[in-house]
A = this chain, B = another copy of it.
Amino acid sequence: MELVTFKPIGIIHSPFKDRKGMPIQPTGGKGVEGHIDLYEEYEEGLKDLDGFSHIILIYLFHQSHEYELQVKPFLDQQLRGVFSTRAPKRPNPIGLSVVRLVKIEQTRLFIKNLDILDGTPLLDIKPYVPEFDAATKVSIGWLSSYIDTASFKRSDHRFE
C-alpha cells in the first residue's frame, strides 16, 4: 500500500510542555486554554468557522515515534489492543480532540478544553456537528469500569 503524505496546516499551543501530568482526554482538560496558529496560506479556509462552538482537531502525536499493538492505557493495568484505546503510540500517530472554539483573530484560533501537547502539528479542522458526530446507545467495552476516573487521571511516562 502506498504511503500517504500530509502537510501540517498550523501549530497547536497549550500549557502542556511535557507528556507527563497532562489530562488524558478533553474531559480532563476542561477549562484549559490554548490557541492554534494556522499558517497564513490557509486563512481563507477559516471563513464561517466562528459560528461553530466546537471544532474537531486532527493532529499528529509528534512525540510518538514507535508503537506496540497492545498497550496498557493510562486508565488501566491490562494489555489492550491499541485500536481499543486512545493511546498516542499507534500505527499512525493521529490524534483527535473535540475542543471549544472561543474566538478567531486572523489566523489565531483561541480554544478551550485542551488535552493536547504544546507544539503539536495540526492536520485538519472540522466543525463539530452533533448530528454527524455524536452516537447514541453507545457501549464502551473495557473503558466502562474506568470512565469516571478519566476526568482527573493524568498521564504518566508510559508512552514516552
Contact = CB atoms under 8 A, between A and B. Distances in A.
A123 B52 CA distance: 26
A115 B145 CA distance: 31
Which range contains the number of A residues in contact with the other chain? 35 or more
A147 B137 CA distance: 21
Interface string A121-143: 10111111111111101111111
Interface of A: 1-9, 25-27, 39, 42, 44-56, 58, 60, 69-70, 79-86, 90-92, 94, 96, 98, 100, 121, 123-135, 137-143, 147, 150-151
Nearest to A151: B131
A102 to B, nearest CB: 13
